[in-house]
Structure formats: C-alpha cells, structure tokens
Amino acid sequence: MAPQHRSRLSLRSRREFLTHAGSGLGALALTSLLGESGLAAAGGGPFDAKEPHHKPTAKAVIWCFMEGGPSHIDTFDPKPVLEQYAGQPMPESYGRPATAMPGTANNALMPSQREWAQYGQSGLWVSNWYPHVAEHADDLAVIRSCQADGLNHVGSVCQMNTGSILAGRPSMGAWVTYGLGAANRNLPTFVILNDEVRINGGAKNWSAGFLPATYQGTLFQQEGAPILNLDPPETVGGRQQRGKLDLLGALNRRHAEKHPHESELDARLESYELAYRMQAHAPEAIDLTKESAATKKLYGIGEEPTDRYGANLLLARRLVERGVRFVEAYCGGWDAHRKIEENHTKWCGVSDKPIAGLLADLKSRGLLEETLVIWGGEFGRTPFNEKGDGRDHNPWGFTIWMAGGGVKGGQTIGTTDEIGLRAVEKPYHVHDIHATILHLLGLNHLDLTYLHNGRSERPTVNGGKLIAEAQA
C-alpha cells in the first residue's frame, strides 16, 4: 500500500486550485496526490478496507492494559539479588534516578514476597500472583527490557497509547483503523473496554489526534448496555429512522461545504451511519448470554473478583471474532505507592483467570494464531520501597508480554539489571513496541504516514525498530 496522505481539500477548493493553477503538470500532480489518498475514488470512505504493506500474521489486537503500572519484579521478572540487599540503600553503581515521588531512590531496597516457579516446556518464570496465566507460558513472549519516557501516569498512559507523553497524537487503534480500514462495517473498528477505575488521561488515550476524527476509538459503557441509545424508540420504525439520518446527513454535508477543514463533521456523519448499521448487528455481538456456561466459567464470569474483567475479555473475543481490529481492555489501578501486597493481590486476582481464559478460548477456536494479545501497563515499579511497603514508578526497565498473532512464545526477551531498575540487554522503547504491533498487523511503521502541517507524520514519530526476537 502506498504511503497514506489524506488531504482535507473540499471538492470546491480542488476545482478552484485547478482553475488557478492552469497547468497540466499541476493537474497531474494533484490527481496523483488525490489518487494516493483515496479521495479521488468514487464512493471511497474512511473505513474502506485497505491492502496491508506486507502479509500480516495478526488480524486483530486485544490489549489487556494494566493501568497504573504493575510491578515487573513481582510478576514476570524475578530478582533474587534483591534478597541480598533487603533493607539496604541501593548501591551507588546502579545510579539514582529522578523519581515520581522525590527522594524515594534513597529508600531501602525491597525484595519481592512472591513465590516463583518455572512453567511449560520453556521453563518461563512466573510468580504465584499469575498462576492461571502461567499455564500458558509457552505462548508468551515476555519482553523484560521495555523503556518509556514519562514519570507520571497521565503522560505515560498517553505514551503507551500514542507514542508521546504529550496529548495530541493519534492512538495506536486510530493508526490501525486508518491504515487498514474496517473488516466489519457494522461494528466499530477500535473499541475501548473499561472496568470501574477511571483511566488516567481519559479520551486522549483513544483519540484520533490529527487524523480525521472518524478514526477515534469507541468507549463502551461500564454499566448496562455497552453502547448507549443503540435501540430506537418503539414508535420509530426503520423507514422513519432512515429518513432522519438522511436529513441529518444532508444538513451536515451542507455545513461541511462551508467548513471543509472540520473533520469532526465527517466523523459525525460516519457515526450516525455506523449507529444505524449497529442497531441490526451490535446487539448480537455484545450478547454474552449466547455463550455457554463452560465458556463463562473459563473467564471467571459470575465469580468474584473476576466477573467484570472476565465479561470484558469475553466481549473482546466476540468483537475480534466479528472483525473488530483493535480492542483495549483496561484493568484496575495498579499504582501501589503503598501496600503493594494488598494492591497487586487484588488486581492480579481480578485479571489472572480472565486473561488465561481469553488465551485458552482463542486457542480452542483457532483464533490465537491471528489475534495478538498484549499484557502490560504504562511502566513498571521500582526495586526500592516507597512508604515502607510500596514501590514507585519505573519507566527505565519494565515488562510487557505478547502472545498469538505470529509471536514466538515460550521466551524472555531482554533483561533488566540485577535489581530490576534499568533495561540493560536489548532495551526496547515504546516506539519499538508500537512498530512491532503494526508489523504483525501487516503495516510498516515507516510507510504509514499522514500529512499534517506540512510534515509526513508516522505512528512512531522519528523512532521505532522491530522487536525481531518476538516474531515466530
């Protein structure tokens, strides 16, 4: 697929341009530009399916986002050396970073209280906080050397979603929707699922940024029906509903002719049409009652504390099964500045069985090989304590894992130092994580571009390299 450069020129401004240019070469250049963007194609829409840059190994992503920063040294990156240093200041040789909470780097080192074991044929180390996920060790590529730039949650959650600690750039789901289009025109292509905890930074994490607003994520509701106002009133029939949408569309298009640079109008038109199509198709997609009792039990639905997150992950499976390309399922508040044992015991208990159920369910249906599952937060946590029984933020070396979607499982990639503070072997930045996700979906992060303010922007800004070891 040629690099994407989507102009916001209206039909009127194009004609005016050609009239004033008066040059055959200028006309040819403009026609070529519009051809690349797809704007010149009759009937072309923002969600038309597009050819990938290369053959993908994944068709969809389910990102289990552990918001707040889970401790890598208590889950997937054991550090026995911490036992030797327990209660002692961090040796000078490791350096003292600038921390989110000033002065915590001078606090004593705190070993993990977890019990660790090796699992699967690969012998992958997993703590007893994730016993169910551990059963899938041979499917996991555990990347222990991740790095990010932010110290606070709002900026770091934003970067893990958009590549930047500053708001304004498109999220990964928006880039994927822009680059590949929709696989099912009757459902949103990019969906956000949340539990009871408010997501730091809110909607900017699934924003379209400078891409057309049409590509932003759809946040499903926490209570009741996931999609509000989906069903029309009983007094409104299909013909009347269609007529209302046609009238709204006409009014919006008339307004758009006067304001050609407002992509929100395109988004509004598309959202109305999508809502109309979803009235027929979405109720079936989100109806978990159609699942068997055994499947619900696999996800921990109907049990505490797994009911809510289990339902979200089962819904995620149903969505990708029906062509949704990108689902983010947020979980919890892992920000354990104090009482990490209490905090992480809770959130591991919430997420362990549902994530393991998702992996098992996808595999049993033949979907895991084409669905990329990701686990991780915006950063990890420090080896030194905070408030005696917690850990501070750690963006210098932390863990995520990937499974399915063409990922080579049963391995660890990269290392942190002996105490788990910094990535030392094969460090991989957030941009590298994003480049790899896009690659598995068939998109080259260097070729996926959008012309914004005279600059060809791409999802990994000016960085990004593939995590080659992760690919099968």
Tokens for 241?
């509903």
Q: Are 229 and 365 in contact (CB under 8 A)?
A: no
The rounded Cα 339 to chain-centroid distance in angstroms is: 28
What are 55-92's pLDDT values in tens digits?
Answer: 999 999 999 999 999 999 999 999 999 999 999 999 99
Is the model's pLDDT at 463 over the cut of 80?
yes
In a domain, 28, yes or no: no
Q: Amino acid identity, residue 439?
A: H
Is the model's pLDDT at 27 over the cut of 50?
no
Distances (CA, A) of 285 to 232, 251, 281, 291, 316: 18, 31, 7, 11, 10
Q: How many helices (H) and strands (E) does the chain have?
A: 12, 17
In a domain, 235, yes or no: no
State the pLDDT at residue 316. Answer: 97
Q: By C-alpha distance, which of 426, 386, 421, 392 is closest to 92? A: 421
Task: Assign 1 a pLDDT band (cuts: 50, 70, 90).
Answer: very low
The rounded Cα 59 to chain-centroid distance in angstroms is: 14
Rounded Cα distance between 108 and 105, Å, is 8
Task: Assign 265 a pLDDT band (cuts: 50, 70, 90).
Answer: low
State the pLDDT at residue 9. Answer: 35
State the pLDDT at residue 221. Answer: 76
What's the pTM? 0.85
What are 201-239's pLDDT values in tens digits?
Answer: 999 999 999 999 899 999 987 666 666 556 666 665 566
Task: Assign 35 a pLDDT band (cuts: 50, 70, 90).
Answer: very low
In a domain, 357, yes or no: yes
State the pLDDT at residue 263. Answer: 60
Rounded Cα distance between 369 and 404, Å, is 5
Q: In this predicted structure, which of 51-55, 149-153, 185-189, 313-317 has the lowest mean pLDDT?
A: 185-189
- Tokens 């994927």 identify what position? 176
Distances (CA, A) of 182 to 104, 179, 214, 238, 281: 47, 10, 12, 24, 15
Rounded Cα distance between 177 and 183, Å, is 10
Task: Assign 264 a pLDDT band (cuts: 50, 70, 90).
Answer: low
Determine whether 325 is exposed, middle or buried from the number of CB atoms within 10 Å of its CB (0-12, 13-18, 19+): buried
State the pLDDT at residue 32. Answer: 33
In a domain, 281, yes or no: no
What are 348-387's pLDDT values in tens digits?
Answer: 999 999 999 999 999 999 999 999 999 999 999 999 999 9
Tokens for 38?
């797809």
How many domains, in total, are found in the chain? 1
Q: End-to-end alpha-carbon separation of the chain, Å?
A: 24
CATH number at residue 79: 3.40.720
SS3 403: strand
Torsion of CA 172, 399, 319, 58, to 10 degrees: 70
State the pLDDT at residue 192. Answer: 97
Contacts of 373 (CB under 8 A, 6+ apart): 61, 62, 63, 64, 355, 358, 359, 362, 402, 403, 404, 405
Distances (CA, A) of 100 to 21, 155, 159, 338: 56, 12, 16, 14
Number of residues that make up the chain: 472
Angle between helices 238-258 and 263-285 (to 10 degrees): 160
Segment 435-452 shows an average pLDDT of: 98
Burial 138-161 (b: 16+ CB within 10 A, else e): ebbbbbbbbbbebbbbbbbbbbbb
In a domain, 277, yes or no: no
In a domain, 152, yes or no: yes
- Which residues are 393's β-sheet partners? 381
Is the model's pLDDT at 48 over the cut of 50?
yes
In a domain, 204, yes or no: yes
State the pLDDT at residue 196. Answer: 81
DSSP 209-229: TTS-GGGS-EEPPSSSSSSTT
User: How many Cβ atoms from other residues are within 10 Å of residue 221's Cβ?
Assistant: 11
Contacts of 329 (CB under 8 A, 6+ apart): 62, 63, 64, 65, 193, 194, 309, 312, 313, 316
Is the model's pLDDT at 98 over the cut of 60?
yes
Task: Assign 117 a pLDDT band (cuts: 50, 70, 90).
Answer: very high
SS3 385: strand
The rounded Cα 425 to chain-centroid distance in angstroms is: 25
Three-state DSSP string of 257-312: HHCCCCHHHHHHHHHHHHHHHHHHHHHHHCCHHHCCHHHHHHHCCCCCCCHHHHHH
Task: Assign 284 a pLDDT band (cuts: 50, 70, 90).
Answer: confident
In a domain, 30, yes or no: no
Domain containing 150: what range? 55-227+286-470
State the pLDDT at residue 185. Answer: 85
Q: What are phi and psi of 225, to 5 degrees?
A: -65, 130
Determine whether 83 is exposed, middle or buried from the number of CB atoms within 10 Å of its CB (0-12, 13-18, 19+): exposed
The rounded Cα 186 to chain-centroid distance in angstroms is: 21
Apex CA 125: angle with CA 122 and CA 126, to 5°? 125
What are 387-430's pLDDT values in tens digits?
Answer: 999 999 999 999 999 999 999 999 999 999 999 999 999 999 99
State the pLDDT at residue 224. Answer: 63
Torsion of CA 83, 347, 170, 145, to 10 degrees: 20
